């Protein structure tokens, strides 16, 4: 049986992304610039408001200097 958390995958990913960004001492603006995305987009991802496409997931992971699989794995 698979355990399903009460929070959505999107919410868990948002928390993992925010935590890693903060651990690296980056602001949302810094991350947005590194990823080539708008700062409002990064904020909405971190609030769990957006479903993020695979291309943007990869851009965010690269900007955080981590592998995509590791970033996604943090959200388990």
Domain-wise residue ranges, the chain: 9-73
What contacts 49, CB < 8 A, 6 or more positions away? none
On whether the pTM is more than 0.95, the answer is no
CA–CA dist 64, 46 (Å, integer) = 14
The reported pLDDT for the residue numbered 4 is 52
**Dmax over Cα atoms in the chain, in whole Å?**
41
Q: For residue range 7-60, what is the model confidence (pLDDT) as tens digits?
A: 888 999 999 999 999 999 999 999 999 999 999 999 999 999 999 999 999 999
Of 41, 38, 40, 45, residue with least CA distance to 20: 45
The third-level CATH classification (topology) of the domain covering 9-73 is 434 Repressor (Amino-terminal Domain) (1.10.260)
């Amino acid at each position: 049986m698979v355990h399903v958390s009460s929070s959505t995958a999107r919410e868990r990913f948002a928390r993992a992304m925010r935590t890693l960004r903060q651990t690296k001492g980056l602001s949302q603006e810094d991350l947005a610039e590194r990823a080539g995305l708008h700062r409002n987009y990064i904020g909405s991802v971190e609030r769990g408001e957006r479903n993020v496409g695979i291309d943007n997931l990869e851009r965010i992971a690269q900007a955080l200097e981590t592998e995509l699989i590791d970033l996604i794995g943090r959200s388990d």
